[in-house]
């Protein structure tokens, strides 16, 4: 019997298969990139590893699609056992959250950075997160109407849109808060480095 060691990514893969139906690893990667970055991204190797494990556990079925014009593609479908595992996961306690961001490490050990290096990283981060905030704001507007509606029994699509709207709303709040911290920290770094710049000019 295969060991049923599972991780959050295990259930993310199952949930996408439950939502979309038969999907390839490529399809699932697009789902991670669209719905879960930056909070729960996954690379192809992780996704394909989980698909192999899920197939061994009997939680997904695999079918090879043959096509003479391209390499054969494997498509995966969630099984009843996979659906039961997915529902059971929602009843389990949460793991302790971790926020892994290299910029936090760079900041913590900022005393070893060459002059101006850390500030440059913050400017890059601000530009990136301004783009992320704009994207999140657009997504919130796109899904806001769903939060105002009451899904009727069986209206699974609307219910999914509502839960998705809650996540993108969090993404917007996160990006707003993160940008505030980035801008405040950059102002501190620039002010801290100003005296040495003035001394060099003198």
Instruction: Give every CB contact of residue 5 below 8 A, 6+ residues apart in sequence.
Output: none
- Report in angstroms the alpha-carbon separations of 155 from 31, 86, 134, 145: 21, 20, 30, 15
pTM: predicted TM-score of the whole model, two decimal places = 0.76
Q: What was the pLDDT predicted at 184?
A: 98
Q: What is the CATH number of domain 8-89?
A: 1.10.10.10
54-57: Cβ within 8 A, 24+ apart:
54/10, 54/13, 54/14, 54/82, 56/2, 57/2, 57/4, 57/81
Q: What was the pLDDT predicted at 76?
A: 96
Q: What was the pLDDT predicted at 77?
A: 97
Q: At CA 182, angle to CA 188 and CA 190, rounded to 5?
A: 25
Per-residue pLDDT of the chain (202 residues; tens, 9 = 90+): 455 788 999 999 999 999 889 999 999 998 888 777 667 778 999 999 999 999 999 999 999 987 767 777 899 999 999 999 999 999 999 988 888 899 999 999 999 999 999 999 999 999 999 999 999 999 888 887 777 776 554 466 667 778 888 888 999 999 999 999 999 999 999 998 876 544 555 4
- Tokens at residue 129, please? 């997160």
Q: What was the pLDDT predicted at 1?
A: 44
Q: What was the pLDDT predicted at 142?
A: 84
Q: What was the pLDDT predicted at 37?
A: 65
Instruction: Give every CB contact of residue 193 below 8 A, 6+ residues apart in sequence.
Output: 115, 116, 119
- Tokens at residue 106, please? 């760079």
């Amino acid at each position: 019997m295969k060991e049923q060691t599972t991780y959050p990514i295990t259930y993310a893969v199952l949930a996408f298969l439950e939502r979309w139906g038969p999907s390839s690893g490529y399809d699932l990667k697009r789902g991670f990139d669209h719905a879960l970055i930056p909070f729960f991204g996954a690379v192809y190797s992780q996704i394909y590893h989980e698909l192999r494990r899920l197939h061994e556990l009997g939680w997904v079925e695999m079918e090879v699609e043959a096509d003479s014009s391209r390499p054969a593609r494997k498509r995966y479908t969630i099984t009843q056992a996979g659906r039961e595992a997915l529902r059971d996961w929602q009843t389990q306690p949460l793991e302790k959250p971790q926020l892994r961001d290299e910029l936090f490490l760079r900041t913590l050990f900022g005393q070893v950075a060459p002059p101006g290096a850390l500030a440059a990283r913050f400017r890059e981060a601000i530009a990136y997160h301004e783009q992320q905030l704009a994207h999140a704001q657009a997504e919130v507007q796109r899904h806001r109407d769903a939060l105002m509606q009451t899904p009727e029994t069986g209206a699974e699509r609307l219910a999914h849109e509502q839960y998705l709207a809650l996540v993108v709303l969090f993404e917007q709040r996160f990006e707003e808060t993160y940008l505030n911290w980035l801008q405040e920290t950059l102002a501190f770094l620039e002010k801290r480095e100003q005296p040495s710049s003035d001394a060099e000019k003198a």
